[in-house]
Structure 1
Amino acid sequence: MIEPSHYLSSTVKSLKPSGIRKFFDLASSMEGVISLGVGEPDFVTPWNVREASILSLEQGYTSYTANAGLLELRNEISYYLKEKTDITYSAKEEILVTVGASQALDIALRAIVNPGDEVIVIEPSFVAYSSLVSLAGGVPVSVQTSGEMEFKLQPSDLEKAITKKTKAIILCSPSNPTGTVLNKEDLEKIASIIEKHDLLVISDEIYAELTYDEAYTSFVSIEGMAQRTILVSGFSKGFAMTGWRLGYVAAQQEFLSAMLKIHQYAMMCAPTMAQYAAVEAIKNGKEDVMHMKKSYRQRRNLFVSALNEMGLSCHVPGGAFYAFPSIQKTNLSSEEFAEELLMEEKVAVVPGSVFGESGEGYIRCSYASSLEQLQEALRRMQRFVQKKC
């Protein structure tokens, strides 16, 4: 009888399971729970997008596509990015269709990281960033942000974290978990540091379609940054296509070619039927995106206002569909708050501590639920807070 743990990778053994999944799995085993935990749109993928996928099946398009994805889809992504960023990416040489934005992040890191390279991760951060850096053989270096500054990266803090081993920085705007949006002025300050230290940027723009108070600025739009940036995005959030598992990456040809090598061996290509659906989404989905965006903005305003009224201080998130309120007045840790709220009031949220040290004292709440569910969740949360304070 062998001992499997003896054979496992030490890197994999050191990885922590996702804290988000822990609470989601617990909530799914209980009746009557309102889940504000998992970051997923509550909208069904629009019918015309689903129909395009069905039609592709009926027409027998069930074979592999090119490794980089359908050229038709890459062309549409190129047009879309030109409109959004004013940067022209070659559909044939600078765009790669991936199995979700998560795979795009994975292969981007594996393409640029050598053993021991440091990659800066801005916390609170999406739970996968640091782990993906480690899996690529790199060293994740955390830079913390604060609620007092609405979780915006301060250039001085970034500067302090850079060493001779620093290779890149991962940016996410709008942010998961805080909903914070970096505007053009914020990005320009970061860009000057990136150029000064000759660094690369992986810009996670999966929530770019969901900004509410000002026009979105992509990091590649900042002067000189397109050549230093690997842009990662996809269809999951803005187009309500989470289960389709379709993302993309756009970058200079040399970076893209390196990522394509990994993609060829690890994944072959993204699902064909999902790619045909994405062509329809990106060509004819603007009205649906605007409808969803309008609804999220309405829910955000209601939800954040109610959180502040009950005493859970929360900045107004400029994008995504997350609120990140402080629970410090309850004198509970983030994990204690989340566990007790779930057990006592059957509302599932995510403890801020799973997103890094600076997330302690906060919780992440997704407002991608119906107004009725949000209102009931808020009633339960208010009752809980009154008991604890």
Structure 2
Amino acid sequence: MSGAGRGISPNLALDEQVARRQAAGERIVHLGFGESRLPVSERLAERLAAGADRNAYGPVAGDDGVRAAVAGYFARRRLPTRAEQVLLAPGSKALLLALQLVRPGDVLLASPCWVTYGPQARLAGKEAIGVPVPAECGGVPDPAALREAVKGARARGADPRILVLTSPDNPTGTFAPPELVRELCAVAEEEDLLLVSDEIYRDILHDPDAVYLSPAEICPDRTVVVTGLSKSLALGGWRIGAARFPDTREGGRLRDDVASVASEVWSTLAGPMQAVAEYAFAEPPEIRERLRADARLHGAVARAVHGIVTAAGAVCRPPTGAFYVYPDFGPLRGALAERGVTDGASLQACLLERHGIAVLAGVHFGDDPGALRFRAATSMLYGRTRAEQGAARAAAEQGADPLALPHVRDALADVEQGFAKLTAF
């Protein structure tokens, strides 16, 4: 996993690099940054403007109204929640790091997983213990491998006490089926692990009828759920995150400990953002329709990119949530080696320098450095301008095919051409 204290996060570094090169006139298809490139909802912009005079600090955990709205959001997802269980922050990253700082013990992570989990654990002085994911999905460790990892870590003197789960996940763009979640919860109970369930992509399931199970439904007393508005409502730069703590004495202590960190680090979520969050988490009809339309768009484009990389010879889990695909070009290892592509880093470099496609190699997600895997963020294909991105959204909202839009079709054609050249032997 990428290390803490050795430069900025690799996804942010790549995004800055691509932005500079594009500004200099280079033609690059940017699939390297996990951002929903869609316009801000007009209603949310209005709420932000209306909240501009909220310039007092306010309570560390958030005002009563916004915490009640977040509690309602969770309750509608089969997680009965009191406002007292909720804490707001400037993004879910801050909450995840605060949890690492206050909860003792080492951390078990799916391998691969989001680039930030491992560095945050190390910043908190913990060991990050990677566990392979199952064949059907990413974001969660294989249950059998998890048991062995816990046993092995304790045998060598480590102290695994925290298990981070992500569903749907970054980087594979898949979510864990209910039966797998139940198995992992059973392991957590047996091994006395705190579950941290990162559900920031929960509202981006490609199939509206898919069955989603949160570990907090199975293990409510040992699960902290973290979410935010960065991905589902394309508000990454606004930095709005929320956490739900167990409704137990221990859960209350954990929330108080995180609030203590918050009071010394970020004080409170900015007042104008609390106005936005209160409206968004209440989920009026405009927000619910936006979530449905955006999920349709994310699914359509992710499936198109999945088709392109598999046609080029990669093996890849079919995307079922979020806006990513995670192809493995291992089947073409011999032929790619003749072009100097021998690992994830050289594959990332080859795609960028020779074929104009920016992706992020699997090594940055804790994957085997020698693996020919990378994450492609398909949400970057909706358009370069706000007008193009808005047209992609509107097509999905109106039930039309966003892939038929000229700018989306052209972007996908560039991706297809780049991978065709990579694998033209």
TM (norm. structure 1) is 0.90
Give the whole-Å Cα distance in 2 for the aligned partners of 1:119 and 1:386.
38
**Contact 1:107-1:262 within 8 A present in 2 as well:** yes
Aligned twin of 1:268: 267
Residues in 1 aligned to 2:235 and 2:136: alpha-carbon distance in whole angstroms = 32
Once the two structures are TM-superposed, the CA of residue 82 in structure 1 deviates from its matched residue by 0.7
Question: Which amino acid letter does the alignment assign opposite residue 417 of structure 2?
Answer: R
Match of 1:347 among 347, 357, 372: 357
Match of 1:46 in 2: 41
Give the drift of 1:21. 2.9
Once the two structures are superposed, residues 87-122 of structure 1 have per-residue CA deviations (whole angstroms, 9 ceiling, x without a partner) of 22221x210001101001011111212xxx221111
1:217 to 198, 207, 213: 213
Alignment of 1:98-177 (within 5 A): 98-113=89-104, 117-145=105-133, 148-151=135-138, 153-163=141-151, 164=154, 165-177=159-171
Structure 1 position 19, deviation (Å): 2.4
- Note if contact 1:144-1:358 (Cα within 8 Å) is conserved in structure 2: no
Q: Report what 1:76 is aligned to.
A: 69
5+ residue gaps in structure 2? 246-250, 383-407
From 241, 248, 256, the counterpart of 1:247: 241
**1:128-153 Cα deviation digits (max 9, x unpaired):** 1111111112111111236x544463
| Structure 1, 102-111 or 61-70: larger mean CA deviation | 61-70
CA distance in 2, matches of 1:246, 1:127: 19
TM-superposed CA distance for 1:379, in Å, is: 2.8
Q: Which residue of 2 aligns with 1:5?
A: none
Distance in 2 (CA, whole Å) between partners of 1:133 and 1:301 is: 33
Which residue in 2 is equivalent to 1:88? 80
1:280 aligns with 2:290: no
SS of residue in 2 equivalent to 1:121:
strand
Checking the alignment, whether the CA contact within 8 Å between 2:137 and 2:175 is kept in structure 1 is no
Contact 1:327 1:334 in 2 (8 A): no
The correspondence of residues 265-344 of structure 1 with structure 2, limited to 5 A, is: 265-283=264-282, 284=284, 285-328=287-330, 329=332, 330-331=336-337, 332=341, 333-344=343-354
**Distance change >3 Å, CA 270–CA 373, structure 1 → 2:** farther
Aligned to 2:390: none
Partner residue, 1:7: none
Aligned partner of 1:382 in structure 2 is: 419
Percent of paired sites with the same residue: 22
- Residue 202 of structure 2: which of 197, 205, 208 is its match? 208
Instruction: Note the residue ranges of structure 1 that are not aligned, 5 or more in a row.
Output: 1-10
Instruction: Look up the equivalent residue of 2:86 and give its one-letter code.
Output: I
Are the aligned partners of 1:233 and 1:247 in contact in 2 as well (CA < 8 Å)? yes
Over the aligned positions, Cα root-mean-square deviation in angstroms equals: 1.8
Q: Distance in 2 between matches of 1:260 and 1:101?
A: 14
1:28: Cα distance to partner? 1.8
**Which stretch shifts more, 38-47 or 209-218?**
209-218
- Matched residues in 2 for 1:21 and 1:377: separation? 23
Structure 1 outlier segments of 4+, above 3 Å? 148-152
The one-letter code matched in structure 2 to 1:131 is: P
Cα distance in 1 for residues equivalent to 2:410 and 2:231: 20
**SS in structure 2 of the partner of residue 301 of structure 1:** helix
Tell whether the 8 Å contact from 1:341 to 1:348 is kept in structure 2 after alignment: yes
Q: Report the residue type matching 1:347 in the other structure.
A: I
Q: 1:34 touches 1:373 (CA, 8 Å); kept in 2? A: no
Which residue does the alignment assign to 1:365?
Answer: 376
Asked whether the equivalents of residues 178 and 211 of structure 2 are also in contact (C-alpha less than 8 Å), the reply is: no
Residues 327-352 of structure 1: CA deviation (Å, up to 9, x unaligned): 22134221111112111222111111
> Which residue does 2:56 correspond to in 1?
63
Relative distance call for 1:373 and 1:280 in structure 2 (3 A) is farther
Preserved CA contact (<8 Å) 2:356 2:418:
no
Residues 126, 355 of structure 1: 8 Å contact kept: yes
The C-alpha deviation readout for 1:43-102, integer Å capped at 9, x for no partner, is 112010011110122xx2222121111211110110110111x222221x2100011010
SS in 2 for 1:29: helix
Measure, in 2, the Cα distance between the counterparts of 1:79 and 1:149.
32
Give, in whole Å, the separation in 2 of the partners of 1:32 and 1:288. Answer: 31
CA contact (8 A) 1:353 1:361 kept: no
Aligned residue for 1:296, secondary structure, equals helix
Kindly provide the amino acid, as one letter, of the partner of residue 174 in structure 1. Answer: P
Q: TM-score, normalised by structure 2?
A: 0.82
The CA distance in 2 between the partners of 1:236 and 1:21, in whole Å, is 15
Cα distance in 1 for partners of 2:7, 2:149 equals 24
